[in-house]
Structure formats: C-alpha cells, structure tokens
Structure 1
Amino acid sequence: MPQNTPPLVSIVMPSFNQANFIAESVESVLSQSYRHLELIVVADGGSTDGTPDWLSQKSRQDPRLKWFSGPDTGPADALNKALKIVRGTLIGWLNSDDLYTPNAIQRAVDALITEPAWLMVYGHGEHIDEHGRFIEAYPTRLPSTPAEEFADRCFICQPTVFFKRSLTVLLGPLDETLKTAFDFDYWLRAFIQIPERIGFIDTAQAKSRLHAQWLCRMGASIQPTQRVLS
C-alpha cells in the first residue's frame, strides 16, 4: 500500500430494534469528514421494526455501508462476528443509538498515526437523552488512571474508543457470557495488558444515548439541555 494512502477505518455497529435511532447513528458515521471507511452493521435476526429493509436501501445509496442479519446470542456475539470480517486496520465501535461528533474519526486516525505505539485511543463523551438533548458529560478519566479505578465504575465512554485491529489479537474476542458489561471488561483487559499503549483525545468524540429506563435507574435529576458539539 502506498505510504500516502489513508488507513481504512472499519466501524462496527450492532443493532436490535433501533429503527428510531439507527438512521441518525449511521449518518453520523457516513457524514464524517474522513471518507476512507466502511460501516458494518450487524442487525439481529429477531428485529421486527423494519431495520433490515432500511439498511438494504441505505447500502444501495452508499456502498461503504455493509450489513448482515442473523441470529445471535447478544450484542457481544454480534460484535465478535463483525470484528472477524472487518477490512480496516483501525476500528471503531458505535451502537445504533449513539452518535459520533463531527471529525471524530479524523481525530482518531491522526492520533494513532502520530503516536504509532498506541494501540487504542479514547476521548470525552457525553450522555444524551432519547431526543438527542445533552444530559451530562461522561465521567471520563485519563489513561494514566490505574486499572484499579475501574472498581468505581467504567471511566471510558465506549463509543469514543478507536483501536488498531492488532488489539483484537492481543485481547481476544469480547466475552459473550457478559450481556451488558462486555465493553467494561474489554477496556479493563486493555488497561491491565497494555496500559502504556493507550492514548487520549482531549475533546468530545461521541454522544452516548441514555434511555428513559436507564435514567430512572440512575435516579437522574439533571434536566436535559441543548448543546452543540464542535
């Protein structure tokens, strides 16, 4: 590959009955300033909201979008299947109700090229509600934070993470026995095994959506406010 060829970035996206949000999530990927990418959507075969039909139509409009649908045992299983077929050397993982901020992929590419020893980078994230309104900043901590601090809570906002494909060789697949904390487990593994090879992007890279049931569990008292990210 010529040295001036930009690296291909693969974004993997699991989806199950997210018709209300997936169009916005997909657009936040395909509208990025960094164009040399592929988006692989894994739609659960049990989806009943018309997502496969929408994906089929959208993929004809933009061939960078690839998708497949079939049974899986959960999102970790879906993601592992997607990670096996990515073509890119750099990988991002965005859920089908979350959003990238403008230029997020370009910033990640620049960081991983500038610091070739890094295998993974992440940045600041923001919680938004079901209507896309800002709730709060994600409680992110820097890579210098000891792995033991994960005992308090996961301090990495999952959709802000980008990593080199070689990281999946070092860490192995996501733990499919975990139904909700498989991302937490993966970042903890990274902090234990390669702490010196994790970088940080000091800006908001993604918006993570909290749904009403999550807000109730959190006892959130913060009133959503509109906020524009640059």
Structure 2
Amino acid sequence: MTRSLAQSLRTLTRDCIDQYRHGGLGAVVKRALYFLFDPRRPLIRKELSSWGNREQLRPDPGIHGTPGLVTVIIPVYDRVSELRESVDSVLSQTYRYFELLLITDGSPPETLHVVEQYAGHPQVRIFHFSDNSGTAVRGRNVGICEARGEFVAFQDSDDIAEPGRLAESVSALQETQADIVYGGWRARVEVPRQGVEAYDAEVFLPRPFSIKDLFRNNRICHGSVMMRKVVFGDIGMYKPHMRFREDHELWLRAAYYGYRFHTVSKVLTILRIHNSNNTLNFILDDTDWYRLMLSEYKVRGPLL
C-alpha cells in the first residue's frame, strides 16, 4: 500500500512539475505547484521516508539512460578548424563507450560542411536548427533530451578534451556515487582577454565549495563536468531566460537540491581563451548576472 501510494505521488509530482516547467500557467499557479509538488520538499520526503532511500525519489528508470554510456553534447555555431579539433578530441577518448551529439544552431555553410564530415561515424548523432538562438542553451537542452547515456558531459565547440577525460569522470562517478563531477583545466591563450588572469598552459585544478562560495564565484569549469542524466529529471535543464552563465545557475540549483559534487584533481579539458568565446564566464564577477538570477528565481522559482 505504501509503495503504491509512493509511486502515485511520484507520477503526480513528475506530471505537475513538467506542466510547471513547460505549460502556459500563471506565476501564482506555478508557485503553488512548486510548493505542493516539488519532489525534494520535506513534506514529500516525509511521506516516502518508510519506502526507501534517496535513490527511489528519482524519476522512473527510463530517465537514467543506458548504464555506463556517456553522452557528450557539443552545441555548434560558427567554428571550423577549432570544431574539428574539439570533435576529434572526443572521438579519441580512451573510454570508448560514448555517443557524441552535435547540435547546430543556425550555422554557416562552412561549419555545416565540417559537421557533415562526421555524419557517418557510428558514435555521432547530428541535429540541425536553421535559425540561430543566440546562446548554447537550446543545443544543450536538446542534447539532454536526446541523450541515451547514463552520464552526460558538455563541451564547447572550441575546447579540447584530454584523452582520459571521460574515463576519469566515469570512474569518479561510479566509485564515489557522486551525482556531478568536475575537474581541472589548462588554458590555451590565443588572444589575451580583458579581465581574465591566465597565461598560456596555466593549469587550474578544482576545489570543493559551499553553496555560499558557489553563489559568489563559480569555479566549476563547464567543459570538465560530467553528471548523471537523472539529475535533469529532478531539477530541470538549462534555463533559456538566463542569457549568460546559465551553467553557473544550474550548479547552484543542483547544490540547492542536495546533489553531490565531487572533484577530479586532474586536468580534463583545455580551454581556448580568445575574444569571441564565453568559456571563462565562471571566473568573472558580474553584478548583472546576480541581479538576473535573483529576479529569475523570484518570478519563476528554481525548477523552471
């Protein structure tokens, strides 16, 4: 009886949260749904406390993905030579059980030509959008929805994965039972960028953080992160309303809901530093971003 009730609550919660995220509901109704049906509120946890542990509060098994499989997501706009190097760095990983999703975003012909060169690769899937959305959020969210893997990793189209990136991350997730792992990165300075204090080949290793620390300054390198797909089923995906540093907001949301982070004390990725990229947004202290995030949560809540 308890298990049946718990399953019904899970189904109701999932359906309501899905409507909360994507439906055309007013703000008052959305806030009411968030209060009543957030699967991580103490009320729901108390009702299910006799049923089992934290794992059983997660969505149904379909959202978990294929065990051991890694989905790497690269949103693509207008790179050419950098894109080839980025894609090849994923295809050359020592950990071979992965799929690579390339999502174009109103890309010019020369970029599409590069992408299509990988169309016949058995581990590559390609998705095209003819219009440009202006950010990488749509591409990442489409990749999450299409991901078949138990684990999801992200990479910008101009960054380079170290050969052992996937192997180190999968090992950390499996050995520690963490939900999200992140590692170090090495700078490749092509054009010095104002406000970024990094020299060529400089190494930045990760360190643990508190939620308070994370709110003040995001030290998580997006291109070094791997996380369990099931996390998105609980907390949602990247927020389109966050016009920049959307990854920073996602890490805060995951920490807010109690998901476990773990550091990998090795360099997992190489970040290019030049004037046209946004890879170092996690270093810059931007007052506008804090104002945007606080207003976003006030209007929509942390689940939308």
Mapped pair 1:32 → 2:93? yes
Q: Following the alignment from structure 1 to structure 2, what is the Cα–Cα distance between the partners of residues 18 and 34? A: 26
Q: What is aligned with 1:224?
A: none
Mapped pair 1:190 → 2:251? no
Mapped pair 1:54 → 2:120? no
Mapped pair 1:180 → 2:266? no
Larger Cα-atom Rg: 2
Mapped pair 1:76 → 2:140? no
Q: Following the alignment from structure 1 to structure 2, what is the Cα–Cα distance between the partners of residues 140 and 200? A: 6
How far 1:214 sits from its partner (Å)?
6.6
Asked if the contact 2:72/2:153 (under 8 Å) is kept, the reply is: yes
Q: Cα deviations across residues 37-82 of structure 1 (Å, max 9, x unaligned)?
A: 100011112x21512222212222x221111110352211121111
Q: What is aligned with 1:137?
A: 203
Task: Give the SS at the match of 1:17.
Answer: coil
Q: Following the alignment from structure 1 to structure 2, what is the Cα–Cα distance between the partners of residues 55 and 48? A: 11
Mapped pair 1:106 → 2:167? yes
Letter in 2 for 1:210: I
Call closer, same or farther: CA 1:112–1:214 in 2, change over 3 Å.
closer
Mapped pair 1:14 → 2:78? no
Q: What is aligned with 2:230?
A: 166
How far 1:151 sits from its partner (Å)?
3.9
TM-score (norm. length: structure 2)? 0.63
How far 1:134 sits from its partner (Å)?
2.9
Q: Name the structure where strand makes up a greater proportion of residues.
A: 1
Letter in 2 for 1:19: V
Letter in 2 for 1:160: S
Q: Following the alignment from structure 1 to structure 2, what is the Cα–Cα distance between the partners of residues 121 and 82? A: 19
Letter in 2 for 1:52: L
Q: Name the structure where helix makes up a greater proportion of residues.
A: 2
- Which among 203, 208, 222 is matched to residue 271 of structure 2? 208
Q: Cα deviations across residues 167-204 of structure 1 (Å, max 9, x unaligned)?
A: 11122010111222101111111222225x21111111
Asked if the contact 1:139/1:155 (under 8 Å) is kept, the reply is: no
The structure showing larger relative contact order (alpha-carbon pairs under 8 Å, at least 6 residues apart) is: 1
Q: Following the alignment from structure 1 to structure 2, what is the Cα–Cα distance between the partners of residues 48 and 159? A: 24
Q: Cα deviations across residues 63-108 of structure 1 (Å, max 9, x unaligned)?
A: 2111111035221112111110110111100010011112110111
Moved more, 67-76 or 171-180: 67-76
Identity percentage of aligned residues: 25
How far 1:139 sits from its partner (Å)?
6.7
Task: Give the SS at the match of 1:8.
Answer: strand
Q: What is aligned with 1:65?
A: 124
- Which among 150, 153, 160 is matched to residue 217 of structure 2? 153
TM-score (norm. length: structure 1)? 0.82
